[in-house]
């Protein structure tokens, strides 16, 4: 089982949160949003794997933001606040900020995907596809297993046939490939027969999952979806909009709108923290 409390939530919840955050990182251009998302993932990493792990991630974030901030003004000369001239090109503050925010958002996407990958159990993604396409998911997981099987057979054939082909190395490789593929294919037939004996292909199949959708999962998914909707409204009404060119122009709405992306970004970290507190309190009661 995943050691992350967030990862132990029902995949419906954790995947909705994860997808919302990554979508947010793709949609927004807002510097504050970029920072909030980074802060959220660093806190999440810190809760899960400790401060030094989170610091390394922070370094990556800063590097990408810096790289964006330096390279973009060299390429794009748009913007009105000219800082200085490099050769014939004007280096503008708008272009630099735009680059830095783009770099930061790219880092956000990478870091969130990494954190989700580490925190969510491998079955979470399969739960989703298994719901929608049980048969395809099964074929997919089996196809993945086929590759290491073939590799093992190839390796065995190469090792066993080596003394017979001391001079002809190319021929050795080709022959070993032949044997390996033949054996793997033959095995596949047997695997197929075994599957059929266990009822595969005889009718409608269901997809079992270890997860049980509880009431708590229901209202959490609901809460996340409401947060999503509010954040989206923020973008559409321009409250969370940020435009760089020609001059910097922040959103027009009240700063209160930032509460929604903030809540989304910190949800996983809060889930971890809450679980730790829960444990501590329940211990102190006994």
Partner 1 sequence: MAFLEIKDLTFTYAGEEKFALRDVSCTIGEGELCLILSPNGGGKTTLLSLIHGDNPPRGERTGSIHSNGTATRSALLRQDPDLGLVADQVWREIAFAPENRGLSQDEIRLRVAEAAGLFGLERLFDRDVATLSGSEKIKTLLAAHLADRPDMLLLDEPAGGLDPVAERELTEVLDRLRREYGVTILVAEQYCEPFFAAADRILYLENGKLLFNGTPEDAARFLLTTGRKGFVPEPARLALSPEDTKTVPLTVQAGRAFLADTPHRFETLRRTERPGETLLSLTDISFRFEKDAPDLVAGMDLSLCRGEILCLLGKGGAGKSTLLRLLAGDLKPLRGKRKVKKDVRIAYLPQDVRAIFEGETLREELTRVAGEEKADTALTEFGMLDLARRHPLDLSGGERQRAALAKISLIDPDAVLLDEPTRGLDRDSRQSLAQLLLSWKDAGKGILIVTHDALFAAGIASRCGLLWGGELASLRETERFFKETRLFTTRTARITGGGAIVPEEVKRL
Which residues would be at the binding site for partner 1 (CB under 8 A)?
A: 1, 121-123, 134, 141-142, 144-145, 148, 153, 155-164, 175-176, 178-180, 182-183, 186-187, 190-191, 193-210, 212
Q: Which is nearer to partner 1, 3 or 280 (CB)?
A: 3
Q: Give 86 or 195: the residue with its C-beta nearer to partner 1.
A: 195
The nearer residue to partner 1, 191 or 259, going by C-beta atoms, is: 191
Q: How far is the CB of 172 from partner 1 (least distance, A)?
A: 10
Q: How far is the CB of 123 from partner 1 (least distance, A)?
A: 7
Query: Minimal distance in Å, beta carbon 231 to partner 1?
Result: 33
* All residues at 6 or more sequence positions from 126 whose CB lies less than 8 Å from its CB, including other chains: 137, 141
Distance CA 164, CA 102 (A): 58
Residue 280 class from Cβ within 10 Å (0-12 exposed, 13-18 middle, 19+ buried)? Answer: exposed
Which H or E run includes 119?
helix 93-119
Smallest gap, in angstroms, from Cβ of residue 161 to partner 1?
Answer: 6
Q: Whole-angstrom Cα distance, residue 71 to residue 179?
A: 52
Nearer to partner 1, 26 or 140 (CB): 140
Round to whole Å and give the CA distance between 155 and 177.
9
Nearer to partner 1 by Cβ, of 127 and 258: the residue is 127
Contact predicate 136/205, CB 8 Å: no
Residue of 10, 5, 4 whose CA lies nearest to 220: 10
3-state secondary structure of 82: strand
Rounded to a whole number of angstroms, the minimum distance from the CB of residue 194 to partner 1 is 5
Name beta bridge partners: 84. 91
Least separation in angstroms between residue 79's CB and partner 1 is 48
- The answer to whether 115 and 157 have CB atoms below 8 angstroms apart is no
In the complex with partner 1, the residue whose CB is nearer, 195 or 277, is: 195
Distance CA 54, CA 115 (A): 10
């Amino acid at each position: 089982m995943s050691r992350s409390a967030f990862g132990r939530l029902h995949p419906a919840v954790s995947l909705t949160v994860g997808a919302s955050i990554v979508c947010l990182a793709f949609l927004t251009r807002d510097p504050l949003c970029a920072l909030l998302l980074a802060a959220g993932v660093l806190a999440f990493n810190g809760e899960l794997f400790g401060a030094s792990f989170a610091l390394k991630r922070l370094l990556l974030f800063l590097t990408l933001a810096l790289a964006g901030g330096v390279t973009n003004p060299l390429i794009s000369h748009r913007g009105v606040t000219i800082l200085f001239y490099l050769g014939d090109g004007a280096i503008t503050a708008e272009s630099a900020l735009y680059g830095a925010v783009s770099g930061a958002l790219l880092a956000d996407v990478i870091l969130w995907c990494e954190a989700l990958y580490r925190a969510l159990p491998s079955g979470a993604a399969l739960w989703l596809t298994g719901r929608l396409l049980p048969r395809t998911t099964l074929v997919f997981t089996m196809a993945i297993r086929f590759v290491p099987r073939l590799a093992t057979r190839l390796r065995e054939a190469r090792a066993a046939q080596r003394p017979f082909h001391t001079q002809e190395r190319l021929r050795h490789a080709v022959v070993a490939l032949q044997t390996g593929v033949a054996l793997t294919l033959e095995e596949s037939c047997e695997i197929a027969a075994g599957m059929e004996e266990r009822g595969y292909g005889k009718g409608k199949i269901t997809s079992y999952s270890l997860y049980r959708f509880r009431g708590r999962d229901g209202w959490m998914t609901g809460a996340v979806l409401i947060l999503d909707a509010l954040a989206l409204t923020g973008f559409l009404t321009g409250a969370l909009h940020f435009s760089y060119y020609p001059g910097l122009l922040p959103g027009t709405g009240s700063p209160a709108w930032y509460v929604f992306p903030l809540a989304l970004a910190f949800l996983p970290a809060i889930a971890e923290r809450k679980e730790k507190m829960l444990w501590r309190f329940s211990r102190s009661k006994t």
